[in-house]
Structure 1
Amino acid sequence: MSIHPTPTILIPHLPPKTFVGIDLVTFTSTANFHGIRDLPPGWHFLYSGTTEALSLRSGGWFYVQDNEDNTRRTVATRTATGTGSGPEIFIWKWDVDTETLVPLKGDSNAERQEAMRFKANLGMIWQAGKLFRYRSRVTAQGVQKNQVVDEEDEEIEEEGRRDWSGLTDRLSQDVLLRIVGDPEVDADGRPRWMITSASTARRDTDDIPGLASAEPDGAGVDGMGRQEVEFSFLPIELRKTWREGAIGRERTEAAQDKSWALGDLVKQYTPTDSTNHSEGETQILGELQFTFLTALTLLNFSCLQQWKRLLELILTCRAAIAERESFMRDVLRLLLLQLQRCDDLEGGFFAIDADEGGEFLRGWLVRFVRSFEEVSHVGAGSIVKDELDKLEAWVRNEYEWDLHPEGVLRRGLLQLEDGEEVEMEMADDEDEETGEYAPTVVELGSGF
């Protein structure tokens, strides 16, 4: 049989019953598992843990080059494509000391020879059925059996690949370098950005004297003595969303409509010589993708918090709906896709933070719908409408969320079992800013 190697992950000597994940598919390894073949072009995330339970998980982001499109913007340097010819072979090794998968770096002659030996044996491993075909959406049993799928399953697979592409299409080297820092480089010069469940941003770290030690640069050390990654997220301060020096009405309105804060963030990450804000907006979208997927796959708490901060900033904007229509459309499209895949995590994505089934998100969406209706009355936000309608329909069907609470009767008569009628009134809603929570504008006197 003629073997034509495709982009492949080789994982020799992986202990059986190890928890392994590739993108949004997870499974438990067997003694016959030596890697994954037929990797499609684009970004991928390989991660592992000692068990499926809530143990420390670690993983790495890496990019598979599309040979038919070498100009793809996400590949910016020579190291991203490697130095060799032919199909890309990514070799990972099991570190018995840390019980994690790490890149085979080739730092020594022994490691370089080891990498060459694994590649030379690729055909034999392939023919022996020890390489499982990449699947983007399949049960763990399907991955382990490496089964041939029928036409209906192929359609599901294609849908899964489109989903993964939509969940990662704004990731780039620039985004990963900013958030994670310098990558680890393997024996072929290909970068991998390594992170764990415990990686965190400084703002999400509790400094408890006597319980945790920190390095001078703020990066922590995990339980096995490894240096932890400190995330460098976009700076979002939701308690101060107005410009320096703003007072009175301007300050109050900027607290209610966070469009100025969003615009300022976009400006900070747009090159000074550019009038096109797409680069700054892409950084935000890329971070939305990174934080969601890292929270989903590694159960990373800090990424979940940053994902929430980003959404709160964006969904509580009003003027930006008209000023940044394309960006808002892209955010809603991404959010719908994320919600559709958030149950890929056992127990559900929102269970990570015990946030009552995502009630925080419902409140922000209610505000966004109200803001959209206000700007749409003056002819703005037209390209946002289709994506908002799709999102509304989906959350209504899946979560039973009504994003138009003003259509709900808040006060009326309720008939009891004995026939008596009593007047009932729904409590004011802090999320919807009604009743005592309604915002007010206060003019300060000349003495302030």
Structure 2
Amino acid sequence: MADLDMDPEVALGLFEEGATLVLLGVPEGMELGLDYKTWTLGPRFRGVKMIPPGLHFLHYCSINTAAGCGEISPKTGLFLNLKSREVLVAHWNQSEEDLEISQDPEEVERMRSNLKELDRYLGPYPYDTLRKWVSLTDRLRADVALMLQPLNGRVCSFSEVLPEQQMTYTSDRASQSLCHEECKSLKEGMERLPRMKQREGTELRFSNIPKQSFPPGATPAQITQCSMDRSYTLDCLIQSRYSAHPLDVLGELQFAFVCFLLGNVYEGFEHWQKLLALLCRCEDALQRQPQLFLGLIGVLFHQLPEIPQDFFIDIVSKNNFLTSTLQEFFQVASAPGVDSTLKKRAEKFKVYLTRTFRWDFEADQDDCAPVVVELPEGINFD
């Protein structure tokens, strides 16, 4: 991790006011990232300095260099809400291959008093990527991130699972035998595998999107309307979790995206798709809450260019998810009664997507042939 090329006075101010992560015992060669930057660690690494206060995502995975295999372990991530001048100390647990945050205030104070001596071993926060990190998390409040992350505080790329039924005795295991000679097909073998469940406390705590899209006692006409306009479902989601701050639903959209993009959590990508599909089909809510949907446009403007190309092509081509979903959004955004600022912003966003990705939102979706191209610089939706 190289030092920043900046004015010495500015660097000193950032060193004094920024937060510091002291990471002890982290093995050489490990991949570690903070927000949008990832490094391969050298032997002198002891942490990161000059971190701007606020929400950050620390992510890491160990690499097994034995016999030159270079095997990379699943990625683990931690959301951290750091304060100005805060010193956070963590130790690498070799047996668990994980970081453990120190709960010893005396150790933290010792590190704080020793920061100038530690300075040569601390890499600076990557300010060249700060703007991109902020653009991906500007709607995500720290308390929302902490509410959505697993109870154990770890966002893991591969879920830790356990068998639903604990089999202690030999007879129990024998009943679940998967002997090749006894299984007549792959399907039969799969069905006889022990049923697994995610270890308690490791689950991402995303909001539940109600399966019933209409209110109790709804008439057939209301059921039909609610299946076309998902505003009732969105209202239920917001009321259940974000009644005090309805725009926090955009923070959840950003949380899911960060978990996928930086944490390699596919579940985050799936939830991002479901939440986006819901938000884009809410005609009544769009007219009642224009600020929510103005914010949605800004969130998508920064997210879409960051999706890895292979995923991007997949979600565009498979059932035309993005094009069909956004086409529905643009249709409801152009309806009579929509806030004029929102209507103009949506039209501008549609033109931008059409020019950038060559998506035709006016054509029948069956005839769309979207093409992925490089995102041009200098386009501002503020």
Q: TM-score, with normalisation over the residues of structure 1?
A: 0.64
Aligned equivalent of 2:215: 243
CA contact (8 A) 1:59 1:196 kept: yes
Q: Which runs of 5+ in 2 are unaligned?
A: 1-7, 64-69, 162-189, 369-382
Aligned equivalent of 1:27: 39
1:57 to 62, 72, 75: 75
Aligned equivalent of 1:420: none
Aligned equivalent of 1:445: none
SS where residue 273 of structure 2 aligns? helix
CA contact (8 A) 1:56 1:198 kept: yes
CA contact (8 A) 1:13 1:94 kept: yes
Post-superposition CA distance 1:90-140 (Å, at most 9, x none):
11221101212231233xxxxx554444334321121x3x2111114xxxx
Matches within 5 A, 1:293-304: 293-304=258-269
Matches within 5 A, 1:310-321: 310-321=275-286
Letter in 2 for 1:322: Q
- TM-aligned CA deviation for residue 270 of structure 1: 5.0
Distance 1:28 1:396 in 2: 38
Letter in 1 for 2:251: G
Aligned equivalent of 1:118: 111
Letter in 1 for 2:81: Y
Q: Which runs of 5+ in 1 are unaligned?
A: 67-86, 107-111, 137-156, 184-192, 202-206, 215-219, 222-226, 272-278, 409-426, 430-448
Using the TM superposition, name which of 292-301 and 160-169 deviates more.
Answer: 160-169
- TM-aligned CA deviation for residue 342 of structure 1: 2.9
Distance 1:228 1:50 in 2: 22
Assess, with a 3 A threshold, how the Cα gap between structure 1 residues 390 and 56 changes in structure 2: closer, same or farther: farther
SS where residue 154 of structure 2 aligns? strand
Distance 2:353 2:62 in 1: 35
SS where residue 238 of structure 2 aligns? helix
Letter in 1 for 2:361: L
Matches within 5 A, 1:359-370: 359-370=320-331
1:38 to 50, 68, 74: 50
- TM-aligned CA deviation for residue 280 of structure 1: 4.5
- TM-aligned CA deviation for residue 254 of structure 1: 1.1
CA contact (8 A) 2:155 2:204 kept: no
SS where residue 58 of structure 2 aligns? strand
Matched, 1:90 2:63: no
Matches within 5 A, 1:87-166: 87-106=85-104, 114-126=107-119, 128=120, 130-136=121-127, 157=128, 160-166=129-135
SS where residue 38 of structure 1 aligns? strand
Backbone CA RMSD of aligned residues = 3.1
2:298 to 320, 333, 341: 333
Letter in 2 for 1:381: D
SS where residue 126 of structure 2 aligns? coil
Ranges of 4+ aligned residues in structure 1 off by more than 6 Å = none
Assess, with a 3 A threshold, how the Cα gap between structure 1 residues 177 and 20 changes in structure 2: closer, same or farther: closer
Matches within 5 A, 1:196-215: 196-199=156-159, 210-211=193-194, 213-214=196-197
CA contact (8 A) 2:231 2:283 kept: yes
CA contact (8 A) 1:19 1:26 kept: yes
Aligned equivalent of 2:375: none
Matches within 5 A, 1:165-204: 165-180=134-149, 193-199=153-159
Post-superposition CA distance 1:228-263 (Å, at most 9, x none):
5122221113x5311122232221121011112112
Letter in 1 for 2:50: D
Distance 1:403 1:122 in 2: 56
Distance 1:290 1:336 in 2: 16
SS where residue 298 of structure 1 aligns? coil
- TM-aligned CA deviation for residue 293 of structure 1: 0.3
Aligned length, in residue pairs:
321
Distance 1:298 1:36 in 2: 19
Distance 2:258 2:339 in 1: 28
SS where residue 26 of structure 1 aligns? strand
Distance 2:266 2:327 in 1: 25
Letter in 2 for 1:305: E
- TM-aligned CA deviation for residue 392 of structure 1: 2.4
Matches within 5 A, 1:212-227: 213-214=196-197, 220-221=198-199
SS where residue 132 of structure 1 aligns? strand
SS where residue 45 of structure 1 aligns? strand
More helix by share: 2
CA contact (8 A) 1:36 1:132 kept: yes
Distance 1:297 1:170 in 2: 17
Assess, with a 3 A threshold, how the Cα gap between structure 1 residues 266 and 213 changes in structure 2: closer, same or farther: closer
Identity between Structure 1 and Structure 2 (%): 24
